[in-house]
Amino acid sequence: MLITTTATKFLKRKNTINLNGRLLDLTKPVVMGIINVTPDSFFDGGKYKTEKKVLKRAEEILEQGGSVIDIGAVSTQPGSEGISTKDEIDRLLPAVKAVKKEFPDAFVSIDTYRSWVALKVIEDCGPCMVNDISGGNFDVHMFDTIGKLGVPYILMHMQGTPLKMQENPEYEDIIRDISMFFTDQVKKLTKAGVKDVIIDPGFGFGKTLEHNYELLNRLDSFKVFQLPLLVGVSRKSMIYKLLATKPEEALNGTSVVNTLALMGGADILRVHDVHEAVEAIRILNIVRSTSK
């Protein structure tokens, strides 16, 4: 049984995200396309080293129907140790600046767990959503910074750190444990003045294969928060290890899991393969429209 506290029970279901006066409509699910400006991400590391390649990828995301472009500069795959703040800024800032200049109407998200990085990029490039894999646990100043910046925040759950998160993760009840985390962090975010929060249960981050599929099976439990739900399973090990393949061969499995996530209440799919995710949403939307 989930516990509804003052952090959740007074919230009304949010169907829009406000980014500097522009609204992202979530009455139907949308797709967030990934751009990793890293040399070592598990699937696409090293593919977007130049501004030209970053812009081509951003254009591809938008042309294929993506609603948000998520740009990250630090690999967070299992076993990764991270990089310095300077290196992260040196990678992230030029990419975000280029995308915002070329596509000024695009919704851009920056994938960072450092408040100073979020502050620097947003001050230099303009408002962006902030996608924090640590859910505020890696930087005590993150929530206050987001509140002052007035931008949307993606609150992700992770047990441990990327370096050691897959070393025997344990839960008493994975849904209850993650829900308690969301409850505590949403309360802190509200106190810090953050108005737009998206929750992400963090598939693959401190979870075994079995944990991930239990999470997928019970995903609709998070509806109690009345907040937009983001799911990121794209080509992850929960898919390719189960199917005894590789990330490069996990597109079909990703589409299946994305569809199950949509049926469980996902509002945003964070993916490498935008076209296929958009198709999954289109099919689900027509199925839902015929059931009314």
Give residue for tokens 């994938």.
111
Strands (E), the chain: 16-19, 22-25, 30-36, 68-72, 107-111, 129-132, 153-156, 197-200, 230-231, 268-271
Catalytic residue check, 270? yes
HSE of 124, CA atoms in CB hemisphere, 13 A = 17
**Residue closest to 152 by CA, chosen among 17, 7, 8, 12:** 17
Identify whether the C-beta of residue 129 lies closer than 8 Å to the C-beta of residue 153: yes
DSSP 223-280: GGG-S-BEE--TT-HHHHTTTT--GGG-HHHHHHHHHHHHHTT-SEEEES-HHHHHHH
Q: Which is the catalytic residue, given 57, 91, 114, 236?
A: 236
Residue partners of 245: CB distance under 8 A and separation at least 6:
253
What does the alpha-carbon distance between residue 260 and residue 19 come to, in Å, rounded to a whole number? 28
Strands (E), 76-210: 107-111, 129-132, 153-156, 197-200
Q: Which is the catalytic residue, given 207, 270, 282, 288?
A: 270
Catalytic residue check, 236? yes
Strands (E), 38-128: 68-72, 107-111
**Residue closest to 105 by CA, chosen among 26, 21, 227:** 21
What does the alpha-carbon distance between residue 117 and residue 175 come to, in Å, rounded to a whole number? 31
Which residues are part of the catalytic machinery? 236, 270
